[in-house]
C-alpha cells in the first residue's frame, strides 16, 4: 500500500490521464478483437492498480457499472462516469462527461494522417 498521499494523488492523475487517453483513441467501430483488448485492459487495470485500497474500491464501482466497449464514445463516457464515482467518494468536483470529447488529446494526429496515407 502506498501510504504517502502525495504519491497516491500523483499516481492517480497519471493513471487517469492514460486511462482516458486510451478511451479517446479507441476506435469508433471496434472489431471483436479490439473489444476484447479493451475489456482485458480494463480488467487488468482494476486488478493490478498499485494502490490496493483504491483498486478494491474501484472494483466495486466497475462491478456496478460494467465496462462499455462498443464504441469510442461509449468507452469514453463510461470511463468518465466511473472516474466521477471516485470523485464523489473523495468529495471532488464532478466532471461534465458531455465535455469528454476533445479533452484528452494524445498529440498523435500525425499517426492518423500516416494511417490514411
Ligand atoms: P484526478 O481525479 O486525478 O483527475 C485528474 C484530472 O482529470 C482532473 O484535473 C480533471 O481535469 C480530469 N477529470 C476529473 N474527473 C474526470 C472524469 N470524470 N472524467 C474525465 N476526466 C476527469 N485516491 C484515494 O485517495 N482513494 C481512492 O480510493 C482512490 N481510488 C482511485 C482509483 C483509481 C482507479 C484511480 C486511477 C485513482 C484513485 N485515486 C484514489 C486517486 C484519485 O482518483 C485522484 O487521482 C487523486 O486524488 C488526484 O486527484 P486530482 O484532484 O488531481 O484529480
Which value does ipTM take for this structure?
A: 0.99
Q: Which atom of ligand 1 is the closest one to the Cα of 82?
A: 18
pTM for the structure as a whole: 0.94
Ligand 1 mean position, distance from CA 14 (Å): 9
Distance of CA 76 to the CA centre of its chain: 7
Nearest ligand 1 atom, CA 20:
20
Which residue has a Cα nearest atom 49 of ligand 1? 9
In a domain, 34, yes or no: yes
> Whose CA is closest to atom 43 on ligand 1?
12
Which of 111, 106, 112, 107 has the alpha carbon at shortest distance from 21?
106
Inside any domain, residue 42: yes
Q: Look up the domain containing 58 and give its range.
A: 5-112
> Residue 94: which CATH number?
1.20.120.310
Quick check: is 9 in a domain?
A: yes
Q: Is residue 25 in a domain?
A: yes
How many folded domains does the chain comprise? Answer: 1
The tens place of each residue's pLDDT in the chain, 117 residues long, gives 555 899 999 999 999 999 999 999 999 999 999 999 999 999 999 999 999 999 999 999 999 999 999 999 999 999 999 999 999 999 999 999 998 988 998 888 767 666 655
Amino acid at each position: 500500500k502506498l501510504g504517502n498521499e502525495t504519491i497516491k494523488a500523483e499516481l492517480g492523475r497519471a493513471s487517469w490521464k492514460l486511462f482516458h487517453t486510451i478511451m479517446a483513441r479507441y476506435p469508433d467501430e471496434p472489431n471483436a478483437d479490439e473489444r476484447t483488448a479493451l475489456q482485458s485492459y480494463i480488467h487488468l487495470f482494476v486488478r493490478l492498480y498499485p494502490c490496493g485500497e483504491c483498486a478494491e474500491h474501484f472494483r466495486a464501482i466497475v462491478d456496478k457499472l460494467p465496462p462499455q466497449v462498443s464504441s469510442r464514445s461509449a468507452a469514453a463516457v463510461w470511463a468518465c462516469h466511473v472516474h466521477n464515482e471516485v470523485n464523489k467518494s473523495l468529495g471532488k468536483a464532478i466532471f461534465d462527461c458531455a465535455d469528454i470529447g476533445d479533452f484528452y488529446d494524445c498529440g498523435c494526429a500525425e499517426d492518423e494522417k500516416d494511417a490514411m496515407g
